[in-house]
């Protein structure tokens, strides 16, 4: 069985290294980028099963990458796990990131994880998402 | 008296010796051939020797009788004539005289001679012409009016302005109205024979409101009775407007000084205080009435200024000086003084004093507010920073554990690095946040400015070597000790150097360099940190001093520059920055010596509310 691909996009190299290591230990095939532009290129290239995405990044927000993925027919099915310091309930709800500039609505992210990220919780979340996805496929 | 030898006895009698000589006229007697037979000495003085000559030769220097000769007419009809005529005096100068011509008859009643008595009116005619010229050309409206208030004469200005209005009523001229004015000075003059002056509002020819000052005086021919009044009117509209403007401006200036926040003190040439505005009253805690005209400027103002005035200087600016108020308190002030002069003559001196306690208080208040706002609104952002660092710590632990478990030494070392980095980060964050959120008075001690820079260079030497960035140190020898908080300033310089190194590393340049300079320029100690790193565009430049702004992702707290600026401001200085995208950045901490806090923080007493806790 081929190992499932996961792309991590986070501007902080320490976190990238951390999540890559954890994913590798759990038997996934991890890839990483430290900004939105590189991340999108990597995703187009690798067609991963799941993208773990940070939001607060200096050059461009992770939300713009999220919308890019969701509005691209080839990429819209990729699972997206948001892993951010932003509190999902209090801070992310205030932002209407699901509406595109042309007014169309995109599907919500598949999962949220609020930093600090504990390895076990992270891997459990990733596993749950991928399992559910597999179940849907079959 | 000079006479011809054969002067007939009746003529001799007629002229009578004494009277002939004494009358204040030039007198000659001529016979029917118009030959002068007798002259008095007045005549000789005026026209020269004349006896034996013809009258026309004497008066007019002619060689034949004048046309329409009045004397000949008198010979014919015996009528006494008076004639106003011109001639030439003995010096050849034009003479203007009035001649009285009377017949002299013999016993038979025949007119044998004529006596001519001339009065020289040259002078009085000259005077008359001068007066006339004055009347015509004086730059005000002059009219002569009769008891019917009709204009009988008007000067050139009246004619030029209103046209020839002789015969019209005076009130139709300057006032352009149909009835006599209520307050008519001419009427008063006609009533009491005295001069009167009044201010009258009339209309100009174009219908604009015009203000005149009108003077009237009786025009008599010497006696008490008079039929005319001379009226002189001056258009004072412009000068009234000017004086009104002057008044308004003076009131404006008065109010300005009265309501000025700065104390204004002005003295006359003797040094006696002439102006002491409310702000000065407040500053010196004394009533202006007790000061103005009574006290000397030297009692209130700093010696430097008094000396400047005494030495003939023209102005003095003292950014920081002190005055002592009447309660004996010494107040820090900014002084701007001017010596008022007209040519070399000193008229007095004026001084503006700005109470620096208030300025310092406001500056501190602004700083406090900025800090409170930043702290209050960014607790959430601080939490983000902490969450990221916690993730880093969590990650460091995981990677280390994973390395140990699998026996991957390299992974273990990486995990340990992550742990170290994030522990350091949280230390910096907490230190930065504390120093920013707490107000404190710098604990200043005499410090060698170069020494601080040396410490920072030492601290970063290894880090820069590892990072491949060249760290250059360019001190200026001989900078005197300054009142600095060495810990605070070191932290600021560390911040700037760390930023510069980061900026270099973010660029792809080959020769990355950070230069630390220490300089003293114009009484200011300057720390300059320059790099040839990525530089900043306008957007970033605008945001670098805002809380939690960082371009470094999780690598920065966003507090460094803000904390640096705060500390520099607490030292009375400023942080300056220059930057070009792709070229690099220069950050400067500029610390003017005179603004540095005094030891123990007493200089800015009352300005700082929160003391640093031990």
Q: Is the pLDDT assigned to residue B135 strictly greater than 50? A: yes
Q: Is the pLDDT assigned to residue B167 strictly greater than 80? A: yes
Q: Considering only residues 31 to 60 of chain A, which have any Cβ-Cβ distance to chain B shorter than 8 Å? A: 34, 56-58
- Which candidate from A12, A21, A86 shows the least CB-CB separation from B411? A21
Minimal-distance CA residue of chain B relative to A57: B553
Does the beta carbon of A113 lie under 8 angstroms from any beta carbon of chain B?
Answer: no
To the nearest whole Å, the CA of B387 is away from the closest chain A CA by: 5
Who wins on pLDDT, B374 or B287?
Answer: B287
d(CA B250, CA B479): 51
Q: Is the pLDDT assigned to residue B259 strictly greater than 80? A: yes
Who wins on pLDDT, B229 or A95?
Answer: B229
What are the E-state strand segments in B121-239? 141-146, 151-154, 196-203, 209-220, 226-235
* Contact residues for A81 (Cβ-Cβ < 8 A; gap 6+): A50, A51, A52, A53, A109, A110, A111, A112, A113, A125, A126, A129
Q: Is residue B361 one of the residues assigned to a domain? A: no
Q: Do A14 and B395 touch (CB under 8 A)?
A: yes
Q: Is the pLDDT assigned to residue B388 strictly greater than 90? A: no
Give pLDDT, residue B342. 83
Give pLDDT, residue B407. 93
Give pLDDT, residue B474. 92
Residues of B at the A interface, defined by Cβ within 8 angstroms: 380, 383-385, 387-388, 390-396, 398-399, 402, 411, 414-415, 418, 421-422, 550-555
Same domain, B473 and B593: yes
Kindly state the tokens that stand for A17.
């290294």
Q: Do B396 and A18 touch (CB under 8 A)?
A: yes
Give pLDDT, residue B306. 85
Q: Is residue B370 one of the residues assigned to a domain? A: no
Same domain, B449 and B596: yes
To the nearest whole Å, the CA of B414 is away from the closest chain A CA by: 9
Does the beta carbon of A127 lie under 8 angstroms from any beta carbon of chain B?
Answer: no
d(CA B91, CA A87): 123
Q: Do A116 and B393 touch (CB under 8 A)?
A: yes
Residue A53: CATH number of its domain: 3.40.50.2300
- Which candidate from A17, A19, A58 shows the least CB-CB separation from B553? A58
Residue B455: CATH number of its domain: 3.30.565.10
Residue among A118, A84, A120 at smallest CA distance from B388: A84
In order of B137, B456, B544, the CA distances from B584 in angstroms are 79, 20, 15
Q: Is the pLDDT assigned to residue B602 strictly greater than 50? A: no
Angle at B387 (CA atoms; ends B610, B561), nearest 5 degrees: 45
d(CA B335, CA B262): 10
Domain that holds residue B580: 445-601
Kindly state the tokens that stand for A105.
């609505």
Best mutation target, A16, A19, A21, A113, to test chain B (most B CBs within 10 A): A21
- Total domain count, chain B: 5
- Total domain count, chain A: 1
pLDDT category, B542, cuts 50, 70, 90? Answer: low
Strands B263-268 and B273-276 come out as: antiparallel
- Which candidate from A34, A85, A118 shows the least CB-CB separation from B388? A85
Does the beta carbon of A124 lie under 8 angstroms from any beta carbon of chain B?
Answer: no
Mean pLDDT, rounded, for B314-329:
86
Q: Is residue B425 one of the residues assigned to a domain? A: yes
Instruction: Give the lowest-confidence range in B115-129, B309-323, B534-548.
Output: B534-548
ipTM of model over 0.95: no
Q: Do B384 and A25 touch (CB under 8 A)?
A: no
pLDDT in tens, A16-69: 999 999 999 999 999 999 999 999 999 999 999 999 999 888 778 888 899 999
Give pLDDT, residue B610. 36
- Which candidate from A14, A56, A116 shows the least CB-CB separation from B421? A14
Minimal-distance CA residue of chain B relative to A117: B391
Minimal-distance CA residue of chain A relative to B403: A21
To the nearest whole Å, the CA of A98 is away from the closest chain B CA by: 23
Distance of CA B247 to the CA centre of its chain: 15
Mean pLDDT, rounded, for B272-277:
92
Domain that holds residue A132: 5-137
> Given B354, B389, B419, which residue is the final one in a domain?
B354
- A-chain CB neighbours of B398 within 8 Å are 18, 21-22, 119
Does the beta carbon of A26 lie under 8 angstroms from any beta carbon of chain B?
Answer: no
Residue B310: CATH number of its domain: 3.30.450.20
Q: Is residue B588 one of the residues assigned to a domain? A: yes
Q: Is residue B245 one of the residues assigned to a domain? A: no
Same domain, B431 and B449: no
d(CA A116, CA A12): 13
Instruction: Give the lowest-confidence range in B207-211, B321-325, B526-530.
Output: B207-211
Mean pLDDT, rounded, for B98-113:
89
Give the whole-number percent of chain B exceeding pLDDT 70: 89
Count CB atoms within 10 A of the CB of residue B42. Answer: 19
Q: Do A14 and B551 touch (CB under 8 A)?
A: no
Q: Is the pLDDT assigned to residue B548 strictly greater than 90? A: no
Q: Do B418 and A14 touch (CB under 8 A)?
A: yes
Give pLDDT, residue A106. 85
Burial state string for B376-412 with b = 16 or more CB within 10 A and e = fewer than 16 = eebeebbebbbbbbbbbbbbbbbbbbbbeeeeeeebb
pLDDT in tens, B465-521: 888 899 999 999 889 999 999 988 998 899 899 888 888 888 878 888 999 999 999
Q: Is the pLDDT assigned to residue B412 strictly greater than 90? A: yes
- Which candidate from A18, A58, A85 shows the least CB-CB separation from B395? A18
pLDDT in tens, A108-138: 899 999 989 999 999 999 999 998 777 766 5
Q: Is the pLDDT assigned to residue A6 strictly greater than 70? A: yes
Q: Is residue B175 one of the residues assigned to a domain? A: yes
- Which candidate from B380, B393, B414 shows the least CB-CB separation from A17? B414
pLDDT in tens, B10-51: 777 766 667 778 888 889 999 988 999 989 888 888 888 888
Q: Do B554 and A15 touch (CB under 8 A)?
A: yes
- Which candidate from B384, B390, B394 shows the least CB-CB separation from A56? B384
Minimal-distance CA residue of chain B relative to A21: B399
Same domain, B288 and B311: yes
Does the beta carbon of A85 lie under 8 angstroms from any beta carbon of chain B?
Answer: yes
Same domain, B67 and B180: no
For B199, the 3-state DSSP assignment is strand
Same domain, B451 and B592: yes
Same domain, B534 and B553: yes
**Dihedral pair phi/psi, residue B282, rounded to 5°:** -70, -45
d(CA B152, CA B157): 15
Same domain, B597 and B450: yes
pLDDT in tens, B178-224: 788 778 888 889 888 889 988 888 877 777 888 888 899 998 776 67
Same domain, B18 and B116: yes
Same domain, B595 and B569: yes
pLDDT in tens, A63-116: 889 999 999 999 999 999 999 887 766 667 666 778 887 888 888 899 999 989
Give pLDDT, residue A124. 95
Q: Is the pLDDT assigned to residue B522 strictly greater than 90? A: no
Does the beta carbon of A14 lie under 8 angstroms from any beta carbon of chain B?
Answer: yes
Does the beta carbon of A25 lie under 8 angstroms from any beta carbon of chain B?
Answer: yes
């Amino acid at each position: 069985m081929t190992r499932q691909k996961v792309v991590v996009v986070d501007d902080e190299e320490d976190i990238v290294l951390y999540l890559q290591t954890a994913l590798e230990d759990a038997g996934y095939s991890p890839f990483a980028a430290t900004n939105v532009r590189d991340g999108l290129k990597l995703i187009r290239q690798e067609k991963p099963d799941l993208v773990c995405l940070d939001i607060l990044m200096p050059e461009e927000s992770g939300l713009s990458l999220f919308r890019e993925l969701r509005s691209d027919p080839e990429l819209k099915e990729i699972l997206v796990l948001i892993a951010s310091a932003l509190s999902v309930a209090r801070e992310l709800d205030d932002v209407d990131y699901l509406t595109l500039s042309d007014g169309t609505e995109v599907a919500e992210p598949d999962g949220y994880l609020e930093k600090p990220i504990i390895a076990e919780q992270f891997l459990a979340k990733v596993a749950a998402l991928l399992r559910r996805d597999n179940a849907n496929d079959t | 008296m000079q006479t011809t030898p054969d002067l007939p006895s009746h003529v001799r009698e007629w002229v009578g010796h004494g009277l002939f000589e004494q009358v204040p006229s030039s007198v000659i007697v001529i016979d029917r051939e118009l030959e002068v037979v007798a002259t008095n000495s007045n005549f000789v003085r005026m026209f020269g020797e004349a006896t034996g000559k013809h009258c026309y030769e004497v008066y007019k220097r002619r060689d034949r009788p004048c046309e329409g000769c009045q004397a000949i007419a008198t010979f014919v009809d015996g009528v006494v004539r008076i004639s106003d005529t011109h001639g030439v005096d003995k010096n050849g100068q034009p003479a203007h005289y009035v001649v009285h011509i009377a017949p002299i008859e013999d016993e038979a009643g025949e007119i044998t001679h004529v006596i001519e008595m001339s009065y020289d009116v040259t002078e009085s005619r000259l005077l008359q012409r001068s007066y006339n010229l004055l009347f015509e050309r004086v730059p005000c409206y002059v009219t002569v009016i009769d008891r019917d208030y009709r204009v009988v004469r008007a000067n050139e200005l009246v004619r030029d302005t209103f046209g020839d209005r002789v015969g019209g009523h005076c009130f139709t001229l300057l006032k352009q109205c149909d009835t006599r004015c209520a307050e008519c000075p001419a009427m008063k003059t006609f009533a009491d024979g005295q001069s009167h002056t009044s201010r009258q509002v009339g209309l100009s020819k174009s219908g604009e409101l015009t203000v005149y000052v009108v003077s009237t005086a009786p025009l008599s021919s010497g006696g008490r009775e008079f039929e005319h009044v001379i009226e002189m009117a001056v258009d004072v509209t412009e000068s009234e407007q000017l004086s009104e403007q002057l008044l308004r401006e003076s009131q404006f200036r008065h109010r300005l000084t009265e309501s000025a926040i700065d104390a204004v003190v002005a003295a006359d040439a003797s040094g006696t205080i002439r102006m002491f505005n409310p702000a000065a009253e407040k500053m010196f805690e004394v009533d202006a009435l007790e000061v103005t005209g009574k006290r000397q400027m030297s009692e209130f103002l700093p010696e430097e200024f008094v000396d400047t005035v005494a030495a003939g200087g023209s102005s003095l600016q003292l950014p920081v000086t002190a005055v002592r108020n009447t309660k004996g308190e010494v107040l820090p002030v900014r002084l701007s003084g001017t010596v008022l002069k007209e040519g070399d003559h000193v008229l007095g001196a004026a001084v503006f004093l700005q109470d620096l306690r208030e300025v310092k208080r406001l500056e501190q208040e602004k700083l406090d507010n900025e800090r409170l706002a930043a702290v209050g609104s960014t607790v959430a952002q601080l939490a983000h920073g902490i969450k990221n660092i916690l993730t880093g710590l969590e990650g460091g632990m995981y990677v280390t554990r994973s390395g140990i478990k699998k026996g991957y030494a390299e992974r273990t070392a990486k995990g340990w690095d992550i742990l170290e980095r994030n522990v350091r980060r949280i230390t910096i964050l907490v230190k930065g946040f504390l120093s920013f959120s707490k107000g404190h008075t710098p604990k200043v001690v005499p410090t060698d400015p170069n020494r601080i820079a040396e410490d920072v260079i030492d601290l970063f030497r290894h880090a820069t070597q590892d990072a491949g960035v060249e760290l250059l140190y360019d001190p200026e020898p001989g900078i005197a000790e300054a009142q600095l908080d060495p810990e605070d300033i070191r932290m600021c310089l560390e911040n700037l150097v760390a930023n510069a190194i980061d900026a270099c590393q973010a660029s792809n340049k080959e020769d990355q360099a950070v230069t630390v300079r220490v300089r003293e320029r114009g009484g200011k100690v300057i720390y300059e940190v320059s790099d040839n790193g990525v530089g900043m565009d306008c957007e970033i430049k605008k945001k670098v001093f805002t809380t939690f702004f960082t371009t470094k992702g999780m690598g920065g707290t966003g507090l460094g520059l803000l904390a640096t600026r705060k500390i520099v401001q607490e030292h009375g200085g400023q942080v300056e920055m220059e930057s070009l995208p792709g070229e690099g950045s220069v950050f400067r901490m500029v610390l003017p010596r005179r603004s540095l806090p005094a030891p123990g923080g007493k200089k800015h007493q009352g300005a700082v509310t929160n003391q640093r806790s031990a």
